[in-house]
Amino acid sequence: MAEHRPKLRRLERLSRIKSVATPERGARMPAFLGSRPDVDPDRVLGRLQVILAGAGSVGGSCILSIARQDPRAIIIADPKPYKPESLLTNGVVFPRDLHRWKADHVAKCCAEVSRNTWVDAFAGGFEDLPLTRVADADFIFCCTDRISAELQVARAAMHLGIPVMYCNVEGSSGLYQIRYFANSDPQDACPACNMTPAELGMAADDGPGFSCETVGEEDRAGREEPVTRSIPALCGLAGHMGALLMNKVVLRLGQPLPNSCMVEGTFIRPEYAAVIPLDRNKGCIEDHSRWRRRPLAKPLRGHAIRELLEASGINSDGGDAVLGLGDGFRYVVRGECPRCGPRPIERFWSKRRNRRCRCGAELRTNAFHTLDAVPLSVLRPQLDRRVAALGATSASWALIRHHGAGTWLSWKDAEGGDGS
């Protein structure tokens, strides 16, 4: 099977809109309880950019509901296609949709029900979305039961300071769970703060969590994959509850929503419903730091390393600073040819590309000589070279860490903009 390389794809705005009545965004908008005079829902929604990670039965319901509110932009990421069983739980899936990518299908549905929304589909994992696009989001939904994916979302959202909502279900008890992290204060909790060692173990194994009923099932590549059992009403309920609460957050209705886990077990008697505060666990191993964002005026590749240091407020002697580049680039100190032996590289190489020696053999790298973040001491002879000259022509962002603080320097091309 050929390798699937996901691309972020913007759906064309359907010209069908012109031929049908186009309702105003606010035509059915109630005067919300707890609304503020300084917050205009129409204006807020008109600027709102939302990302959905996981476009299954929960995420599909959630984002379709939000699409009807006509936000400015939606990005939908999901690495999987539908299978026949998707008909059993997904409210937006019909037999004709089977085997399509979930991201593509849900994005198309969103484009169809919204009037002005820019919708992008990404048939890949959230972690492979361009971070410069993630950074534009005002709100992220994570509706996957994979703990590893939850942590990927959590890390990006924490560093960039974007609110995240996780919507999950547990089928047998009719239980839905909404966890919310405002990410307004780096001292706050992250999802890993409240995970049990078993759940953190699942993250390492890439297994599903928050589901006690998993059975093995083969995916299209023939590998065994776990599935979560539930019924469509519960999945839709969790997704809609997430969408509802997002309105409370972005329209600032009433008291701010605290970092919390809301849980309700429909089939549990006596009735079980609770709001559990999510507090920071001082022993959490996740990096909770907030990056300072610094937009670049021109493409990253045109900047010398020294300019990047200056842009992040560090002089070139900046002691223990380290530099990392985005979009899959790593700094390779040394490579090894099986025929010619070791040779210095001292450039950024993409993880996605294999390199060959002059003799034609494939160059190998090893973990000791491949750095995700390069100490300034290693880069010092190259400070005046441009990022492009160091091999990272297509990198769109850089992260400089110094004394525990991170500065995120990014540049976004027109394609990554608002499409205008």
Q: How many angstroms separate the CA atoms of 271 and 61, rounded?
A: 25
Q: Provide the minimum distance between the beta carbon of 363 and Zn ion in the complex, in angstroms, as a whole number.
A: 8
Nearer to Zn ion, 200 or 378 (CB): 200
**Part in contact with Zn ion (CB under 5 A); list of ranges 109-117, 134-142, 340-348, 398-406:** 340-348
Q: Provide the minimum distance between the beta carbon of 342 and Zn ion in the complex, in angstroms, as a whole number.
A: 10
Q: Which residue has the tokens 């509850």?
A: 241
SS (H, E, C) 257-270: CCCEEEEEECCCCC
Q: Per rule CB under 5 A, is residue 340 in the interface with Zn ion? A: yes
Applying CB under 5 A, what is the total number of residues that bind Zn ion?
11
Cα torsion 400, 401, 402, 407: sign: positive
Burial class of residue 396, CB neighbours in 10 A (0-12, 13-18, 19+): buried
Nearer to Zn ion, 128 or 286 (CB): 286
Burial class of residue 392, CB neighbours in 10 A (0-12, 13-18, 19+): buried
Nearer to Zn ion, 284 or 304 (CB): 284
CB 180 within 8 A of CB 247: no
Q: Provide the minimum distance between the beta carbon of 4 and Zn ion in the complex, in angstroms, as a whole number.
A: 32
**Part in contact with Zn ion (CB under 5 A); list of ranges 95-103, 124-132, 332-340, 384-392:** 332-340
Looking at 18, 28, 339, 403, which residue binds Zn ion (CB under 5 A)? 339
Nearer to Zn ion, 274 or 340 (CB): 340
Looking at 359, 377, 415, 417, which residue binds Zn ion (CB under 5 A)? 359
**Part in contact with Zn ion (CB under 5 A); list of ranges 48-56, 318-326, 349-357, 403-411:** 349-357
**Part in contact with Zn ion (CB under 5 A); list of ranges 40-48, 90-98, 300-308, 331-339:** 331-339
Residue 374: strand pairing partners: 323
Question: Over the Cα atoms of the chain, what is R_g?
Answer: 23
Q: Is 273 helix (H, G, I), strand (E, B) or coil?
A: strand
Q: Provide the minimum distance between the beta carbon of 185 and Zn ion in the complex, in angstroms, as a whole number.
A: 13
Q: How many angstroms separate the CA atoms of 146 and 209, rounded?
A: 6
Q: How many angstroms separate the CA atoms of 360 and 344, rounded?
A: 17
Looking at 44, 113, 249, 284, which residue binds Zn ion (CB under 5 A)? 284
Q: Provide the minimum distance between the beta carbon of 128 and Zn ion in the complex, in angstroms, as a whole number.
A: 23
Q: Which residue in 120, 202, 190, 179 sits closest to 156, CA to CA?
A: 190
Looking at 286, 327, 336, 346, which residue binds Zn ion (CB under 5 A)? 286
Q: Provide the minimum distance between the beta carbon of 358 and Zn ion in the complex, in angstroms, as a whole number.
A: 6
Looking at 76, 147, 337, 387, which residue binds Zn ion (CB under 5 A)? 337
* H-state helical runs in 39-83: 41-47, 57-67
In the chain the first and final C-alpha atoms are separated, in Å, by 37
Burial class of residue 67, CB neighbours in 10 A (0-12, 13-18, 19+): buried
Q: How many angstroms separate the CA atoms of 72 and 43, rounded?
A: 10
Token pair of 408 as six digits: 């995120």
Q: Provide the minimum distance between the beta carbon of 380 and Zn ion in the complex, in angstroms, as a whole number.
A: 28
Nearer to Zn ion, 195 or 238 (CB): 195
Looking at 357, 373, 378, 405, which residue binds Zn ion (CB under 5 A)? 357
Q: Provide the minimum distance between the beta carbon of 288 and Zn ion in the complex, in angstroms, as a whole number.
A: 6
Q: Print the binding letters for residues 157-186 with Zn ion: x by CB under 5 A, - otherwise.
A: ------------------------------
Nearer to Zn ion, 231 or 284 (CB): 284
Q: Among residue numbers 190 through 229, which ones bind Zn ion (CB under 5 A)?
A: 190, 192-193
**Residues that bind Zn ion in the complex, under the rule CB under 5 A:** 190, 192-193, 284, 286, 337, 339-340, 357, 359, 361
